Structure 1
Amino acid sequence: MNNNRITIMMVAVIFLWGINVVMIKYLTNYYPPLALAGIRMVLAAAFLLPAVWYQGGWQRVPRAAWWPICGVGLFNIFLHQIALSWGIKATSATHATLILALNPLLTTLLASCLVREPLSRNKLTGVALGLAGVLLIISGKSDTMGATLLGDGVMVIAMLVYVFGSLCVKKSTQYAPPLTVTIYSHLVAAPALVVLGLFTNPVWVYEGAFELWPIVTLLFSSWFSTALGAVLWNTGIHHIGASTASLFLNGQPIVGLFASALFLNEQLVWQHYLALLLVLLGVSLGTGAFNSFRKGT
């Protein structure tokens, strides 16, 4: 796959995932968080099933592939969706977006540790700047309606488990195609989320859940942001690696931040812009994007 196609795919992921935070925040007005996670993953799995037949039916994968595939299902889908739905419900979309912006930085750092690459000064500086941005927004909750310390903490967990899951994606796509990994991991995680929802939710929908816009938003979030976004992301990781793929997520907080202001009327104040600057600068330094840009110029 050529570089132009990979770039287009990863830019699409930026927009799909950037607006997905806003859509999930909107949908928590109509569905309990854990019910929403199960519903979205079932719809995403159903959307992916026709792709199985398009690629020639169910494919056997090596036994060694099942552990990392289950890891993708556990971290990228099951735990991430639980924390994402609950965290966004308990905080603002603005805070959620900025916390998730640390994903590329921590992905790079964790990947470096696992392959025993030394931590450079830029990476350590990037960690400090990124953490400063997160501390800035969670210490200024009064500036954003609906933000709570608990919700921000859960969003940090959502970000961390997705970082671990991205490394599982890289491992699993060494044994099976990205589409196969995506489908099987969704089929593993979706039933588990439904079972969890059955035990934790006395009701699955709130008033107005079956009106036009909640349904349209739910389907778009499930089919395109979640299912299609996962296929594109896993394909990108397969071709260019988790660390390099994470560079493209630098634009996600920009999309999510301004989408939350545009669609949810969340107020942006100077702390948010400064936090965004710190997180993006930290990500750029930690992943090497800043040095690559200077060399390119």
Structure 2
Amino acid sequence: MKKTTVYALLVAVMAMWGLNIIWLKLLVNEFAPVTMTAFRIFVAGVAVLLFLSVKGVVRKLTFKEFSFICVVSLFNIVGHHYFLSVGLTNTTAMNGGLILGLVPILTAIASLFLLKVKFSIMKVVGILFAFFGVSFALVAGHGGAISTSYGDVQIFLAAVSQAISFVLIKKASTNIDARLMTGWLMIVGSAGLFFVSLAVEPQGLAMMKTDNYLIWLVFIGSALLATAFGHMTYNYAMQHIGASESAVFINLNPFFALISSYLFLGESLYITQFIGFLLIVFGVLAGSGAVEQWRRAKVTYKI
């Protein structure tokens, strides 16, 4: 497949993930957030494994592989989606999308502690710019005053959980197909989320009953399109153009979240949020090492 086609797929996935923040905001307002998320992730996991079974990729996991998936799912699914679902009940979709744009930077920071990766001056500058950008993203009130809410903190913890899971996946040596790992992470993680929901949302199952067919369409769209298809496509792209080049497209996620929140939820759009978005993009490109990689590739090409 041509690179231009892969790039187009990645842009489509980022648009879908940005829109998914809106879908999740609608869903957590209708259902008990953790219970709904457990079912949503389970549906996505089943869809992924069914697709892979048709492709002949599904196989039994070894005990070591299953143990690895259980550990990673605590961060990648349980931690990330728990904080994301409850966080969106306490903050705007715009702020949620912008904060999630920090995932590449947080992954780089987690690599510093877990993988002992050395930081250059460029990476440190990028990290500072990214976090400074988030401060502009957290806008509240008509006056555009900078502030943070409890929901913003929860979304940040969701981003931290996902970043840690990415580093754990990179650190571990495993022969599991990335797509197969995605499916099993969703199945195992959704089971963990369901048990958490029983503790924190005793009436969660009863709240899943609704005659609102539109909200069920949103549920299916989020599960199948954004979560199942989105992650499958992103993993496919990584196999073709590499993890670093694919990660650059994550910068589009906050942009699509901003636009979608304004168009579909009617949330106020401030100039400080666009300033924050631009700072986050620069910070991620510099802090994740993308700028340095491009510079090295350019020098190598000239030589």
Which residue does the alignment assign to 1:228? 229
Which residue does the alignment assign to 2:59? 59
Deviates more, 1:196-205 or 1:120-129: 196-205
Separation in structure 2 between the aligned mates of residue 17 and residue 180 of structure 1, nearest angstrom: 20
Which residue does the alignment assign to 2:250? 249
CA shift, 1:169, in A, is 3.6
Indicate yes or no: 2:286 matched with 1:278.
no
Deviates more, 1:120-129 or 1:65-74: 65-74
From the superposition, tell whether residues 54 and 96 of structure 1 become closer, same or farther in structure 2 (CA, over 3 Å): same
Indicate yes or no: 2:89 matched with 1:89.
yes
Q: Provide the aligned length of Structure 1 versus Structure 2.
A: 293
Separation in structure 2 between the aligned mates of residue 275 and residue 241 of structure 1, nearest angstrom: 27
From the superposition, tell whether residues 43 and 283 of structure 1 become closer, same or farther in structure 2 (CA, over 3 Å): same
Asked if the contact 1:30–1:208 (Cα under 8 Å) also holds between the matched residues in 2, the reply is: no
Separation in structure 1 between the aligned mates of residue 232 and residue 69 of structure 2, nearest angstrom: 14
From the superposition, tell whether residues 230 and 169 of structure 1 become closer, same or farther in structure 2 (CA, over 3 Å): farther
From the superposition, tell whether residues 8 and 114 of structure 1 become closer, same or farther in structure 2 (CA, over 3 Å): farther
Indicate yes or no: 2:178 matched with 1:168.
no
From the superposition, tell whether residues 142 and 159 of structure 1 become closer, same or farther in structure 2 (CA, over 3 Å): same
Separation in structure 2 between the aligned mates of residue 239 and residue 176 of structure 1, nearest angstrom: 17
Separation in structure 2 between the aligned mates of residue 21 and residue 218 of structure 1, nearest angstrom: 12
- TM score, norm. by length of structure 1: 0.87
Separation in structure 2 between the aligned mates of residue 208 and residue 276 of structure 1, nearest angstrom: 38
1:122-157 Cα deviation digits (max 9, x unpaired): 11111111111222333x32248xx96100000000
Which residue does the alignment assign to 2:103? 103
Asked if the contact 2:49–2:58 (Cα under 8 Å) also holds between the matched residues in 1, the reply is: no
Separation in structure 1 between the aligned mates of residue 148 and residue 204 of structure 2, nearest angstrom: 24
Letter in 2 for 1:195: F
Asked if the contact 2:126–2:282 (Cα under 8 Å) also holds between the matched residues in 1, the reply is: yes
1:97-136 Cα deviation digits (max 9, x unpaired): 1101111222234335544442111111111111112223
Separation in structure 2 between the aligned mates of residue 86 and residue 52 of structure 1, nearest angstrom: 31
Deviates more, 1:25-34 or 1:106-115: 106-115
Separation in structure 2 between the aligned mates of residue 69 and residue 231 of structure 1, nearest angstrom: 17
Separation in structure 2 between the aligned mates of residue 251 and residue 64 of structure 1, nearest angstrom: 36
Secondary structure of the residue that 2:47 maps to in structure 1? helix
Secondary structure of the residue that 2:118 maps to in structure 1? coil
From the superposition, tell whether residues 83 and 280 of structure 1 become closer, same or farther in structure 2 (CA, over 3 Å): same
Deviates more, 1:214-223 or 1:44-53: 44-53
Deviates more, 1:120-129 or 1:70-79: 70-79
From the superposition, tell whether residues 39 and 210 of structure 1 become closer, same or farther in structure 2 (CA, over 3 Å): farther
Runs of at least 5 residues in structure 2 that lack an aligned partner in the other structure: none
From the superposition, tell whether residues 240 and 112 of structure 1 become closer, same or farther in structure 2 (CA, over 3 Å): farther
Separation in structure 2 between the aligned mates of residue 98 and residue 57 of structure 1, nearest angstrom: 35
Deviates more, 1:237-246 or 1:259-268: 237-246
From the superposition, tell whether residues 222 and 172 of structure 1 become closer, same or farther in structure 2 (CA, over 3 Å): farther
Which residue does the alignment assign to 2:140? 141
Deviates more, 1:150-159 or 1:286-295: 286-295
Secondary structure of the residue that 1:89 maps to in structure 2? coil
Letter in 1 for 2:194: V
Separation in structure 2 between the aligned mates of residue 246 and residue 161 of structure 1, nearest angstrom: 17
Indicate yes or no: 2:179 matched with 1:179.
yes
Asked if the contact 1:42–1:190 (Cα under 8 Å) also holds between the matched residues in 2, the reply is: yes
Asked if the contact 1:61–1:175 (Cα under 8 Å) also holds between the matched residues in 2, the reply is: no
Secondary structure of the residue that 1:17 maps to in structure 2? helix
Letter in 2 for 1:72: V
Letter in 2 for 1:85: S
Which residue does the alignment assign to 2:152? 152
CA shift, 1:9, in A, is 4.0
CA shift, 1:205, in A, is 6.0
From the superposition, tell whether residues 287 and 31 of structure 1 become closer, same or farther in structure 2 (CA, over 3 Å): same
- TM score, norm. by length of structure 2: 0.85
Secondary structure of the residue that 1:233 maps to in structure 2? helix
Asked if the contact 2:197–2:204 (Cα under 8 Å) also holds between the matched residues in 1, the reply is: no
CA shift, 1:206, in A, is 5.2
Letter in 1 for 2:140: K
From the superposition, tell whether residues 169 and 2 of structure 1 become closer, same or farther in structure 2 (CA, over 3 Å): farther
Letter in 2 for 1:142: G
Secondary structure of the residue that 2:268 maps to in structure 1? coil
